[in-house]
Structure 1
Amino acid sequence: MSKETGLTIGFIQLGKPTQNAFVESLNGKFWNECLNHHWFRTLEEARYKIERWRHHYNLVLPRSSVNCMSPVEYAKQTA
């Protein structure tokens, strides 16, 4: 346990991806929606396309948890 934060770092067991389902879900979406759709010719192209996907996923993509609104729409509604 860290004295500064009071938090304990916990690691998942090897071969047990279900212990961190959020990361596994995001990883699967990233592969299915981004990496499987693009053939990157340069590092700059990869950075650009991955950033576009990240922006869309984090700000534009509707979420069922907030009545099928995008995070930006939800933030505007609650402000």
Structure 2
Amino acid sequence: MDYSLPAQRVIRLLAQLVERYGKPERLRSDNGPEFISQALQDWCKDHTVDLCWIEPGKPTQNAYIERFNGTFRREVLDAHVFSSIKQVRQIVDG
């Protein structure tokens, strides 16, 4: 949980996930700036990971994540009044 997720942070997290779980064949994402950045495209190319973006305005192409985001928003974020990002992290980490 954070205020933003810049491309370099996405890349660091992906590197950690690859180390723990292995490399995926592809990543599917929306068209957020962190996912369309040249840095992420270069990382995917260097790691032979196919980067697939959903079409703008077509969230159903990424329905699993859209459902997760909606559920998380309703059941966690909307269920609490947070006073800090630290508090959000504590509740999410449970």
Structures share a fold, TM > 0.5?
yes
Q: Aligned residues: percent identity? A: 35
Structure 1 residue runs of 4+, over 4 Å off?
A: none
Structure 1 residue 32 displacement after superposition: 1.1
Structure 1 residue 24 displacement after superposition: 0.4
- 1:25-44 equivalences under 5 Å are 25-44=67-86
TM-score, structure 1 length as denominator?
A: 0.55
In angstroms, what is the RMSD of aligned CA positions?
1.9
Number of residue pairs matched by the alignment: 51
Bigger Rg over Cα: 1
Secondary structure of 2:52's counterpart equals: coil
Aligned equivalent of 1:20, options 52, 55, 62: 62
Q: Which has the higher strand share?
A: 2
TM-score, structure 2 length as denominator?
A: 0.47
| Bigger relative contact order, structure 1 or 2 (CA pairs below 8 A, ≥6 apart) | 2
